[in-house]
Amino acid sequence: MNRRESRPSAAPPGRPNPPSARALQRAGWRWREWLGSQGIAPAVFQQQAWRAYAAGKSGLISAPTGRGKTLAALGGPLIQAMAEEQTPRTATVQGFRMLWITPLRTLASDTRERITQPVAAMLPHWQVAMRTGDAGARDKRLSDTGKAQLLVITPESLAILLSHERSHAQFMDLRCIIVDEWHELLPSKRGVLLQLNLARIQALAPQARVWALSATIGNLRQAGDVLLSAWSGARPELIQDARPKPFHLHTIAPPLHTRLPWAGHLGLANLGEVAKLVFGTRSSIVFTNTRAQAELWHTALASIWAEDAATLAIHHGSLDQQVRLDVEQRLRAGTLRCVVATSSLDLGVDFPAVDRVIQVGGARSVARMVQRAGRAKHRPGTAVHVDAVATQALELAEFAAVRELAQAQIYENREPLSLCFDVLSQHAMSMALAGGFDARQLYDEVRRTAAFRELSPAQWNSVLAFLEHGSDSLVQYPQYERLQCSQGFCTPANTAVSRMHRMGIGTITAHGAVSVQYLRGARLGTVDESFIARLNRGDVFNFAGRSLQLIRLENQTAWVRRSAGASAHTATWSGSLMPMSSRLGARMQKLMYEAARSSAQGEVPPTRELQWLVPILSLQAQRSLVPDEGQLLIEQVGTQQDGKARPLFFYPFAGRVAHEGLAVLIATRLAQLHANTFSWACNEIGLMIQPALPISAQDVDWREIFRTADLNDDLRTAVNFGELARKRFKEVAQIAGLVQTRVPGKKSRTSNRQLQVSAGLLFDVLSKYDPEHLLLRQARQEALEQELHLPTMERVLAHMEHCEIMLKHPARHTPFSFGLSAESFRGHVSNETWNDRVRRMCEQQERDAETGSAGRRAASSPGKHLGKHAKPAAQGRQ
């Protein structure tokens, strides 16, 4: 299909005529009668959504978790479909009528379960199918043939469907698109890919209406504008549930004046308290921030589990599909007492049997904490409640800040991405597979999206040139010739391209995953290649809630069998702890300052968390300072007597993401003043810079160091920026199809080492012979924005420039500096374990606290007893 004909204003053949007002009224009555039979009284915001849909509008529905967003989104399309079926047709409608797009396979399965009943009651002849990586043969057949009227699908599967020529017929009669958990997709490349796919659907079915669902997002208006960017001139209808929903956060912490570590994130010292809560409730979910942490907590709970072992389970994204589905089904049925989970269960999944949610450590985000809390008592009209386990002292301030912001419904913004040329290259190749495309028409189509609104003709030509021959330096290699264009019309270069391309559609890149499978039995899931590489044959490790013995490793598969013995090895995956939002960090700082000031004036802080922190904050104020929001605290810890280089500690309270980039910038600018070598460490409240040669903090012009001018250039000249760009290029090249993770005819994926070599060679070749290649430019930009977090740093530096700089010289570590100092050990060579070194620091802190009257007054603070709990707090980071 070279040119798409303009569509007439009247209903074309194959489509129903618009329903009459009377037909819509009768359908609305029927819908409300069914809701009444289910004991559901429509809320005001749900009725607003139905009326807006009937008026032909698109938009975004925002409501707290458990308020009924699903019915709000479903009612309008069902009423419309029922009314249309009462209207005489010109011909039979073919293809999909409604798409429900979800970000997670788990959520897709749960969504189908929830919407099937009302759809069957209102439109019994409709087929509801699911198209995800977990879809069965029936669902795939219904989606491939277009015989499902309502399709629940992920963005990646939608992109695959649109890459076929049959997509023109399948989507032309589409009436409605629902995008669930839009805030989760918005700030990622998955959101960019979805924008491009929505633009394609708009070209195929301009009559389709688009609605998104979101519970927790700060920039609601922008989110709606991005969603409807392909529908030119369409102003999103924003519908919010104005009813307040109580949010309760209960902190699990020791009694006042008792023990809690200053560093760490595992929190197993609270295992007994968590177990009491779990055994006192019918069904619970224990959320952790990482998959390794989930495995450790499951192992710990299993060691004291007093009931049937089958009532305890684990759930995370690296487990096999059947393992996850079994856990979800048992959780819905109420046969599980406890599931230890990661974010794989925190998005919109409905488990009415779950009565309690426990969060281990800080969720690092107001939105994330509210999302997870909403998984308990997921029923309209019930309050949101979460029990939060403090794994270290300063998380108490985070819990107090989260409670305050959540009760005020103040959430973080989700910033959309733009000009992702790897995603655009993939999309253009998919459109070539779908019957070919006119280059000018597709350019106009993609420019309607918010992500590519600024796409220039030169950039578009570079994308086409990349797909035609890779690069001028790669023109001799036929594997990079994927597209051929003649007179402005583009098609795949050869038949082998289509199969290869479809195997790589999506923006979730491979990170060296190794499959774990029983010798005679089921597949359990995947772990990082780097973790398995550290094990020897016969070693035992913990994974999927089991102790497994490694038998052999071949073809990217770790063959295992069950082991009766305990293991000290727990599976790990790439990635770090979840970063804390800058908004949450700023509120933490303010609360700690107010608590310290209240204590100094003889007043009692308002919350239990801040009351518990008073001894720590008093010690911080005694040795240094508890900064206010308009102050930037810099500490240089130690004395000058030994002549050694003393570390510098900075506390912007901007979250780990911003601090990583700030550490690089500060070290680079200090090195520009005087030749030196630096190492650094970061956590959620600050960063540490350790120079090799002594630096006098009072002799540094810190305002010059914190200047926003020359930020981009200084980061580009920072140490290892080239390696950061190389790292990003590996992911960019995968998404763009320049390197392949899967090859037709091979069962196993390409190993992480092979990917690194292939991407590294291409990076070197392009850097030398085509340094302005569009993928190289994107990799460099992503290194700045996503590795060094340039936009966030610009905001933080602008704030720091106007802060009052408070320079302090404590002789020994403060409560703030202790955690950063402990973090810094991980980059050093030593034959001591990290636990032993932290314990030794704790013992020194205890001796320091016992000297002098001030030390004796602080002897009951967490610093005195840190040594006892340092080990469990540290294990999860090894």
* pLDDT digit string, tens, across residues 518-537: 998 889 999 887 788 788 89
Q: Which residue is associated with the tokens 């995968």?
A: 734
State residue 834's pLDDT score: 43
Nearest to 387, CA basis, from 299, 303, 244, 275: 275
The pLDDT assigned to 430 comes to 97
The pLDDT score that the predictor gives to residue 839 is: 55
Element (H, E) at 817: helix 815-824
Q: How far apart are the first and last CA of the chain?
A: 56
Q: In the prediction, which pLDDT does 91 show?
A: 46
Residue 690 corresponds to which tokens in the numbers above?
């350790």
DSSP-based three-state secondary structure for 749 = coil
Q: Give the model's pLDDT for residue 861.
A: 34
pLDDT band at 55 (very low <50, low <70, confident <90, very high): very high
The pLDDT score that the predictor gives to residue 15 is 55
Q: 35 falls in which pLDDT band (50, 70, 90)?
A: very high
**CA–CA dist 431, 828 (Å, integer):** 50
The residue count for the chain: 878
pLDDT(878) > 80 = no
248-264 pLDDT tens trace: 999 987 766 666 667 66
**Banded pLDDT at 72 (limits 50, 70, 90):** very high
Q: How far apart are CA 616 and CA 393, in angstroms?
A: 8
pLDDT confidence of residue 349:
67
DSSP 528: E
Which residues share a beta bridge with 60?
212, 238
Strand partners, 364: none
3-state secondary structure of 546: strand
Which H or E run contains 212? strand 209-214
Burial class (CB in 10 A: 0-12, 13-18, 19+), 366: buried
What was the pLDDT predicted at 852?
37
Domain 21-240 has CATH 3.30.365.10: no
pLDDT digits (tens, 9 = 90+) for 454-500: 999 999 999 999 999 988 888 888 888 999 999 999 999 988 888 88
Per DSSP, 480 falls in state: G
Cα–Cα dist 247/538, whole Å? 49
Question: Using one digit for the tens of pLDDT, what is the confidence trace for 95-140?
Answer: 899 999 998 877 888 888 889 999 999 999 999 999 987 778 888 8
Extended strands (E) in 2-149: 59-62, 98-101, 128-131
H helical segments located in 105-186:
105-122, 137-145, 155-162, 167-171, 182-185
Q: Which amino acid is at 668?
A: T
Whole-number Cα distances in Å, 316 to 311, 353, 369, 814? 17, 19, 17, 37
The answer to whether 412 and 218 are in contact (CB under 8 A) is yes
**Of residues 7 and 393, more confidently modeled:** 393
Query: H or E segment at 21?
Result: helix 21-37
> What pLDDT is stored for residue 58 in this prediction?
95
Distance CA(783)–CA(775), nearest Å, equals 12
Which of 258 and 716 is assigned the larger pLDDT? 716
190 vs 343: which has the higher pLDDT = 190
* pTM for the structure as a whole: 0.85
| Tokens at 140, concatenated | 């795939």
Give the pLDDT confidence of 313-358 residue by residue, as tens digits: 999 988 988 898 899 889 888 899 999 999 888 775 677 788 899 9
Task: Please report the DSSP string for 629-640 in residue order.
Answer: TTEEEEEE-S-S
Asked if residues 354 and 378 have their Cβ atoms less than 8 Å apart, the reply is: yes
Q: Supply the pLDDT for residue 715.
A: 83
**What is the rounded distance in angstroms from the CA atom of residue 525 to the CA atom of residue 527?**
7
High-pLDDT (> 70) share of the chain, %: 85
Amino acid at 391: T
Which band of pLDDT confidence, cut at 50, 70 and 90, is reported for residue 780?
Answer: very high
Element (H, E) at 463: helix 457-469
What are the start and end residues of each CATH 3.40.50.300 domain in the chain? 21-240
* CA atoms of 451 and 453, how far apart (whole Å): 6
Mean pLDDT lowest among 104-108, 244-248, 263-267, 432-436: 263-267
Range with the poorest average pLDDT among 433-437, 467-471, 738-742, 856-860? 856-860
Q: Which residue intervals of 674-751 are DSSP H helices?
A: 702-705, 711-716, 721-736
61 and 73 Cβ atoms separated by less than 8 Å: yes
- Average of pLDDT values for 667-682? 90
**733 within 8 A of 778, measured Cβ to Cβ:** no
Q: Three-state SS for 734?
A: helix
Q: Examine the pLDDT at 1 and tell me if it is beyond 60.
A: no
Confidence at residue 863, expressed as pLDDT on a 0 to 100 scale: 32
Per-residue pLDDT at 708 exceeds 80: yes
Helix, strand, coil % over all residues of the chain, rounded to 5 = 45, 15, 40
Q: State whether residue 808 is helix, strand or coil.
A: strand
User: Which of 34-48, 323-337, 732-746, 841-855 tops mean pLDDT?
Assistant: 34-48
* pLDDT reported for residue 505: 92
Q: Is 46 helix (H, G, I), strand (E, B) or coil?
A: helix
User: Angle between the 155-162 and 421-433 helix axes, to the nearest 10 degrees?
Assistant: 40
CA–CA gap between residue 599 and residue 610 (Å, rounded): 10
Of 573 and 278, more confident:
278
User: Which of the given ranges, 322-331, 648-657, 714-723, has the highest pLDDT on average?
Assistant: 648-657
Alpha helices in 456-507 (DSSP H): 457-469, 495-502
Q: For residue 2, what are its two tokens?
A: 């070279």
Q: How many CB atoms lie within 10 A of CB 488?
A: 12
Query: Which of 58-72, 414-428, 821-835 has the highest average model confidence (pLDDT)?
Result: 414-428
Instruction: Check whether 88 has a pLDDT greater than 90.
Output: no
Q: What is the H or E stretch that residue 738 is in?
A: none
Give the mean pLDDT of the chain: 84
CA pair distance 850, 853, nearest whole angstrom: 8
Integer-rounded Cα radius of gyration of the chain: 28
Taking the C-alpha atoms of residue 385 and residue 65, their distance in angstroms, rounded to an integer, is: 11
Q: Mean of the pLDDT values across residues 705-718?
A: 87
Cα 669 to Cα 780, 787, 812: the distances in Å are: 20, 18, 26
